[in-house]
Structures are given as structure tokens and as C-alpha cells.
Amino acid sequence: MSRTLIALVEDKPGVLARVAGLLRRRAFNIESLTVGHSEEPGLSRMTIVVESDLIGAQKVAQNLNKLVNVVNVEDITEQPTVARNLALIKVRVSGGARLEVLQIVNTFRARVVDVGLDTLVIEVTGTDEKVEGLVQVLGAFGIVEMVRSGRIAMLRGSEPQ
Amino acid sequence: MRRTGAQIVWEMLRREDVDVVFGLPGGAILDTYHCLQEYGIRHVLVRHEQGAAHAADGYARVSGRVGVAIATSGPGATNLVTGIATAMMDSSPMVCITGQVSTALIGSDAFQESDVTGITLPITKHNYMVTDVDDLADVIHEAFYIARSGRPGPVLIDLPKDVQQAETAFVPPDGDVPLPGYQPVVPVDPAEVREAADLINEAERPVILAGHGVLMSGAVETMRAFAERIQVPVAVTLLGKGAFPGHHSLSLGMMGMHGEAYANHAIQEADLLLALGMRFDDRVTGRLERYAPKARKVHVDTDAAELNKIVRADVAILGDVGQFLDEILPLTETVSQRPWLAEIERWRGESHSRDILDRPSNGRLVAPYVIDTLQQETGGQVIVVTDVGQHQMWTALYYELDCPNYLITSGGLGTMGFGLPAAIGAQIAEPDREVWAIVGDGGFQMTMQELGTLVQEDLPVRIALLNNGSLGMVRQWQEMFYGGRYEATPLANPDFVRLVEAYGIPSWRVSDPGDTLAAIGAARSQPGPAFIEFQVAREGDDGNVYPIVPPGAALHEMIRRPDLVGEAETGREGHL
């Protein structure tokens, strides 16, 4: 199973390499890892999804906490969270497929962000399941290219991490 | 106050209370070396950078201060790697400073460029590359703080040549280290201490497992008082030797793969293990699924990542061992009678005499006899630094000591070649104490070029070489577990006595047990370094370390020294 961890890290050179290197060295499988600025200058927030059980995730968190540049780590898998994934999907729409694809895009509340002669680029955000669902449906038309952000997540409620 | 980066290095080392560094210069660190004279810090020139790292490590372990190693870029820095990994595994506080090519050349595969911060990422507690001279003073201050605090470890600072040359206004760091993510010491949780105390008060067959953390926390005296109060026997890890007096009636000696049989029996039969500042290394547990099956476990460590890493603890306590002991002491009930101790005594009598005291008396020189003689001559009152292999285990078993930090050895990484350079560091840390390096012929030849350092620095390190003409521990495994096929373990050795004499070091060779005492006496009476080669038995009962827990076996399934009962006619006797 996969578990989601959120890490607040100092925005210093090499931090991503330290985190990724530690996960590699301790033989943890990364499903996705995203990183970007946080609300506080000098700090970045990472969302790390690892293939692991609860005990494994605890070990990941403890080891990450040992890194000097990691301010804190939390396993939020069991907590109420908002989690989102973003995907850009370039799909083939030759022949009469265009209308059908546009309908699907509407149904999924996705957006068309580029129109080509025989392709559309679709932007979708949502839970892993929603994005995965759209990818599956569009697969029938022929996906030319796809890029996904990986999961970003945040605890619900008013308390910051 | 204008200073160059090079000057800031020494200025900051002085402020961090460093009076000796170990190193070897080269192109990318030349600017820093150029300013050394102005600052009056002692520099020990090694023959290979690995020696600098081990010497700094040995210095740190004996002195409790941060050891400092300096090397140039590229190969100089990569030569430090084994020493850094050694220090990391054994939690030894160290700061390594490496030269680097100028910032403009970084990433261009310049001459003697290597990505040292990348290479050392997983084997340092933290590392830095300083690209702005204005950051240098703070980085050095932080590096020392990180190296020595919490669970200590090595920190590396990579210093490009142009940063060493650059000038800036030197502002001494104000003492505060702004590290929001670094919490070296967490106070122990009183509720958990209470839980641990309840388990201890209920236990009938408890054992304390004392590790390196007890020594590093300075908790030796407290632990002794604690063990005596609750009458609990204490087994130590290899790095925990000295954490409990070896001659104490509650001492079980070393546990684990080459631990004494009765110590391992006690652990397997215990109903409570109280693990203090140790990390359940696989050499300590044997087969994990069958480790201490009857025992509940209380685990105290300053590193959260060690808790529940290998052994699931019933009570896992994060924090300093010393603080834990201070707090649990009043919560435990004084025990006067513990029948469990009598049971252990029965095992001790049988196994201690069989595995440790019994020795062949067939006229051959055996390593345990050498170590035992050295132990008796010195009374366990000298600092012993070992290399890695059979002689290391014999030293751990036969060199019983009562003093903290008197056995220096590479435990976690098991680095052959550690002994001689680490002994150099140990002697510099304690110039007035007697230091013995006990080494094997395999490991000695990995770093014996440091004899040059020994002579140049005029250090009175005594070297006892146990020469069995082979990579002995590997050979023992081949004999016991690989059908006796001695692949790549026999060594064609030089004439060690002539070799060491070529450095001007007085040297002796001993092959007759009767000459052992005299040679040790002669070596001890030298004003400077001295060397003894002991030609010891290579194979079979005389050449193997006993007991040994075979790979994959549970802790109590030891291979013991073959029973000598009824073998009197083969020329063996019961005691030395």
C-alpha cells in the first residue's frame, strides 16, 4: 500500500538529493515526490508518496527527521486531507473523436488547454482516482503524451503542519 | 577585520577549541595550508588521507572532542571516504575539510575534481559545500555543533579554492546555530520511564544491554549504581566495552556473535532486556526471529530512527541514556536477592573456563595467550586500539577493562586498517597514557605506511602484531562454513621486524610463548614507539575465535571451543 508523508524542508541546495538519497539508501520505493515553496520564505514543502506499510512509513519519517535540513515530517495517510494530482494529457482526436472527448472533459470537469489539428491537450486536477479515471477513458482514443505532477496533499482544518 | 577564507578556517578551528588536525596537503587546499603557521594549530602529516580520517576518529573517541581531518580535492577527498564511513557507523564526532576546485570549474570534470558532497551524502551526518566566503564562519560553527551534539557523527565541509582565497569581513558567529530542523536532544518522557520502571520491578530475569551510547552519554557511573541497586547483570556490545567494569560480579562481558556463551544464554533466557544506547546490530542479535524470545524489551536511545528499527520494543524511549538512568533510579525497587544471578553463575563457571580460560599447552603461541598476558601486565590500564578481525575479537574477549573509552575499535563498519592510524590519534589525545595498537597482519598492511607518521610525530605507540599469515577471520569462516577451501586468505608476508626497523622503530619477534612477557616488557620500556610481531597459530582450535554464533543461527546456538575434558593426553591443560 502507499502512504503519504508531508515534509517541511529548508530551501537549501541539495535538499532534494538528500531526501531522495535517503529513501534510496534505506530501500524505500518512491511513488511520487513533489516539492515547491511553502507559505514561509526559506522553507519548501514536499509531498512524498512511498510504497510502504505503517511501520515502514514511520521509519522513513524518523530517518528523514534526522536530516539536518528537514524541519519536520508527518505521515498524513490516516488524517483528513485534501490531496490533488495534476495531469496534462495530449489525446488524439482525429475523425469524429473531438466532440466525444470534449464531452468527457466536461464530465470530468477537466479543461482543454491546447487545441491542435488532430490533438487536444487536457488539463485535469483532482484526486488520484479521478485523474486515473480520466486517463483510462481517454486511453481509448489514444494518448500521445502525458505528464503528471504526483500527489500534493494538505491537512484539512485550520492548523498548519 | 578582513580575512581570507583560508584564514577563517583556522580562526574558526581555534574558536572551536581545536588544537590538532590530521591531514595531507594538495593543490586545492594549498591556500588553507599556507596560513596554518599563523594560527599555532598542530598539524599531523599522514601518509594517506584514510589515515587522517582514522586518526581524527581515534582522537575523537579518546578525547571526547571533535576530530579534524583535512585533505585536498579529488583523490585526497575520496581517500577520506572509508574513514568517514567508519566514523558514521560508530557515531564518532569528526569534521573533515576538503579542498575543491574553484567554483567556476565545478561540474566541468576539472583536474582533481570529485563530487565529494555527493559521494559522502549517505556517510556523513551532514555536509556542506561553501560557495560564498561570507558563509564560511557560520558553516564551520554549525559543522562542529552538528558533529558533537545528539548522536555524534562526521560532518564534511567542501571548500573551493577561490573561496579559500576570497577576502571578507570576518564576523565571528554569535553562538546561536539557526537549524530549525535539528533537535539533537529530546528530554525523556516521564510516563515512559514509569512504564519501564514497572517492567523492571516485575522482571525476574532481567539483563541490561549496554552500548556505546552509555559511554557517550557519560553515564557509566550512573549505570553501575543502577545495576547494583536492582541487581541486574550487564552485557556490553563491542563498542560498549568499558561502559561497565569488566571485573564486576554483575558483568557478563561481551554479547553477540563472539560473545561469551553465558552472556548469550542469559539474553536468550531473560524475561526483560533493558537496552541502553545500543542498536541491536545483527552481530549482536544473531537470528532475529529467535532473539531473546522470552524477553520484553525496553530500548533507550538518543536516535529516534534506532527505536523499533530491528527489535520491536515494548517500551521505546527517546532521549539521553544518562537522563533516563537518573530518572528511573528512584522509581526502581532495591533488590537484594536475585536467584537469576545464581543461574547465570552456573553458566559462567562452565563456559568461561571452557571458552576463555582453557588454552592448549602444546608449546604453540596462541593469540589469546598474548592478549591475556598483555592484559595482566598492564592491568587493563592502557588504551588499546584494535584493527578488525580475529585479533579484535580476541582483544574484546581477553582484554578485560574497567575504564571507559580504553578500547577503541571499528565496530559498525569493521574497517581493516583502522588500528594503527586510530592509535596515532589516541596517543595524541592522551600523550601521557600508554597506547597499544593490536593489529593483525592483514589489516596492518592496509595502513602500515602510517608508521612514517608515528616516527615523524615521535609518538610512543606500542604495536602488537598478531601474525597468523592469513586474513584470519575470513580463513576461520572458510574453515568452519566453506569446507576448508582457503581461497585468497593466505598471505605472503614481509619480514615485519625488518620492515618496521627500517622506520627506526625497535622491534621484536616472538614465536615461543615463553618470550611473550619479556617482549611486552621491553616494548613498554621504550621511550618511543615499539613493535612486536607475535607469530601465532593459524588454524584449527588454536587459530580460531571461540565461541562463534554461526551465520543464521540463534544467539544460543554457538560453536564452542571443542571440549577439552578427556583430552589431557593431547597435551592440553585447564588454565594458562
In a domain, residue A126? The reply is: yes
- The full DSSP string for B331-398 is GSPP-S--HHHHHHHHHHHHHIIIIII-EE-SS---HHHHHHHHHHHHTT-SEEEE-SSHHHHHHHHH
Verify whether residue B89 is a known catalytic residue. Answer: no
Contact criterion met (CB < 8 Å) for A9 and B129: no
What are the pLDDT digits (tens) for B31-44?
A: 999 999 999 999 99
Contact criterion met (CB < 8 Å) for A21 and B122: yes
> Cα–Cα distance between B209 and B275 in angstroms, integer?
5
Bridge partner list, A89: A122, A146
Contact criterion met (CB < 8 Å) for B181 and A17: no
**Looking at CA atoms only, how far is residue A149 from chain B in angstroms?**
26
Verify whether residue B161 is a known catalytic residue. Answer: yes
Please check whether residue A157 is in contact with residue A113, taking contact to mean a CB–CB distance below 8 angstroms. Answer: no
- The full DSSP string for B411-437 is -SS--TT-HHHHHHHHHHHSTTS-EEE
Q: How far apart are the first and last CA of chain B?
A: 67
Whether residues A6 and A71 share a domain: the answer is yes
Please check whether residue B32 is in contact with residue B164, taking contact to mean a CB–CB distance below 8 angstroms. Answer: yes
By a Cβ cutoff of 8 Å, what residues of chain B touch chain A? Answer: 117-118, 121-122, 125-126, 129, 146, 179-182, 303-305, 307-309
DSSP-derived 3-state class of residue B74: coil
Whether residues A57 and A87 share a domain: the answer is no
What are the pLDDT digits (tens) for B175-210?
A: 888 899 998 989 999 999 999 999 999 999 999 999
Tell which of A44, A75, A106 closes a domain: A75
Q: How many domains does chain A have?
A: 2
Output the nine-digit C-alpha cell for B145.
555543533
Tell which of A30, A49, A75 closes a domain: A75
What pLDDT is attached to residue B25?
98
Q: With both helix axes pointing from N to C terminus, report the angle between A97-107 and A128-139 in degrees, rounded to the nearest 10.
A: 170
Q: Give the residue carrying C-alpha cell 524542508.
A: A9
Whether residues A39 and A96 share a domain: the answer is no
Q: Give the residue carrying C-alpha cell 479521478.
A: A130
Question: Could you tell me what percent of chain A has a pLDDT over 90?
Answer: 91
Amino acid at B403: C
Residues of chain A in contact with residue B303, where contact means CB-CB under 8 angstroms, are: 66
Residues of chain A in contact with residue B182, where contact means CB-CB under 8 angstroms, are: 68
Residues of chain A in contact with residue B304, where contact means CB-CB under 8 angstroms, are: 62, 65-66
In a domain, residue A160? The reply is: no
What pLDDT is attached to residue B440?
98
Contact criterion met (CB < 8 Å) for B304 and A72: no
Contact criterion met (CB < 8 Å) for A69 and B181: yes
In a domain, residue A161? The reply is: no
Residues of chain B in contact with residue A67, where contact means CB-CB under 8 angstroms, are: 126, 181
Beta-carbon contacts of residue A149 (< 8 Å; ≥ 6 apart): A34, A85, A86, A87
Whether residues A40 and A94 share a domain: the answer is no
Nearest chain B residue to A71, by CA: B181
Tell which of A75, A92, A107 closes a domain: A75
How would you classify residue B490: left for phi > 0, otherwise alpha for psi between -120 and 50, otherwise beta? Answer: beta
Indicate the residue of A21, A59, A68 with minimum beta-carbon distance to B146. Answer: A68
**Looking at CA atoms only, how far is residue A115 from chain B in angstroms?**
41
Contact criterion met (CB < 8 Å) for B122 and A62: no
Verify whether residue B418 is a known catalytic residue. Answer: no
Please check whether residue B348 is in contact with residue B374, taking contact to mean a CB–CB distance below 8 angstroms. Answer: no
What pLDDT is attached to residue B50?
98
Indicate if B359-551+568-573 has the same CATH topology as B190-346.
yes
Q: Nearest-CA neighbor of A126 among A106, A143, A110, A102?
A: A110
**Looking at CA atoms only, how far is residue A10 from chain B in angstroms?**
8
DSSP-derived 3-state class of residue B185: coil
What pLDDT is attached to residue B568?
40
> Cα–Cα distance between B143 and B178 in angstroms, integer?
12
Nearest chain A residue to B143, by CA: A68
Whether residues A144 and A104 share a domain: the answer is yes
**Looking at CA atoms only, how far is residue A3 from chain B in angstroms?**
18
**Which entry of B11, B16, B49, B269 is annotated as an active-site residue?**
B49
> Cα–Cα distance between B405 and B61 in angstroms, integer?
7
Please tell me the pTM assigned to this model.
0.95
Please check whether residue B351 is in contact with residue B260, taking contact to mean a CB–CB distance below 8 angstroms. Answer: yes
**Looking at CA atoms only, how far is residue A50 from chain B in angstroms?**
17
Contact criterion met (CB < 8 Å) for A21 and B146: no
Domain B190-346, what fold?
A: Rossmann fold (3.40.50)
What pLDDT is attached to residue B405?
79
> Cα–Cα distance between A85 and B514 in angstroms, integer?
78
Q: On the CB side of B347, how many CA atoms lie within 13 Å of its CA?
A: 17
Domain boundaries, chain B: 2-168, 190-346, 359-551+568-573
Q: In this structure, which CATH number among 3.90.1300.10, 3.30.420.40, 3.40.50.970, 3.40.50.300 belongs to the domain B359-551+568-573?
A: 3.40.50.970
> Cα–Cα distance between B151 and B320 in angstroms, integer?
9
Whether residues A102 and A120 share a domain: the answer is yes
Establish, for the pair of chains A and B, how many residue pairs have beta carbons separated by less than 8 Å: 42
In a domain, residue A118? The reply is: yes
Q: Give the residue carrying C-alpha cell 594458562.
A: B576
> Cα–Cα distance between B180 and A68 in angstroms, integer?
8
Whether residues A14 and A58 share a domain: the answer is yes
What pLDDT is attached to residue A161?
57
**Looking at CA atoms only, how far is residue B180 from chain A in angstroms?**
6
In a domain, residue A123? The reply is: yes
Candidates B88, B89, B120, B126, partner chain A, best to mutate (most A CBs within 10 A): B126
A70-75 vs A2-10, strand pairing mode: antiparallel
Please check whether residue B26 is in contact with residue B72, taking contact to mean a CB–CB distance below 8 angstroms. Answer: yes
Q: How far apart are the first and last CA of chain A?
A: 24
Residues of chain A in contact with residue B125, where contact means CB-CB under 8 angstroms, are: 68
Whether residues A62 and A117 share a domain: the answer is no
What pLDDT is attached to residue B561?
84
Nearest chain B residue to A12, by CA: B128
Output the nine-digit C-alpha cell for B76.
585526497
Indicate the residue of A21, A55, A71 with minimum beta-carbon distance to B180. Answer: A71
Beta-carbon contacts of residue B170 (< 8 Å; ≥ 6 apart): B1, B2, B3, B7, B8, B11, B137
What pLDDT is attached to residue B150?
96
Tens-level pLDDT at each residue, chain A (161 residues): 899 999 999 999 899 999 999 999 888 889 999 999 999 999 999 999 999 999 999 999 999 999 999 999 999 999 999 999 999 999 999 888 999 999 999 999 999 999 999 999 999 999 999 999 999 999 999 999 999 999 999 999 976 65
| Regions of chain B where pLDDT drops below 50 | 565-576
> Cα–Cα distance between B36 and B567 in angstroms, integer?
65
Query: Does residue B547 have a cis peptide bond before it, meaning omega lies within 30 degrees of 0?
Result: yes
**Burial call B284-298: b when 16+ CB within 10 Å, e when fewer:** bbbeeeebbeebbbb
Please report, for the domain that includes residue A32, its CATH number.
Answer: 3.30.70.260
Whether residues A65 and A16 share a domain: the answer is yes
Contact criterion met (CB < 8 Å) for A68 and B181: yes
**Looking at CA atoms only, how far is residue A31 from chain B in angstroms?**
21
Contact criterion met (CB < 8 Å) for A65 and B305: yes
Residues of chain A in contact with residue B307, where contact means CB-CB under 8 angstroms, are: 62
Residues of chain A in contact with residue B179, where contact means CB-CB under 8 angstroms, are: 68
Whether residues A55 and A87 share a domain: the answer is no
Verify whether residue B111 is a known catalytic residue. Answer: yes
Verify whether residue B49 is a known catalytic residue. Answer: yes
Residues of chain A in contact with residue B121, where contact means CB-CB under 8 angstroms, are: 14, 17-18, 21
- H/E run at residue A26: none
> Cα–Cα distance between B139 and B211 in angstroms, integer?
31
Domain B2-168, what fold?
A: Rossmann fold (3.40.50)
Give the other-Cβ count within 10 Å of B177's Cβ.
15
Its domain, for residue A61, covers 2-75
Indicate the residue of B121, B303, B305 with minimum beta-carbon distance to A59. Answer: B305
Please report, for the domain that includes residue A127, its CATH number.
Answer: 3.30.70.1150
Whether residues A110 and A141 share a domain: the answer is yes
**Which entry of B11, B89, B129, B161 is annotated as an active-site residue?**
B161
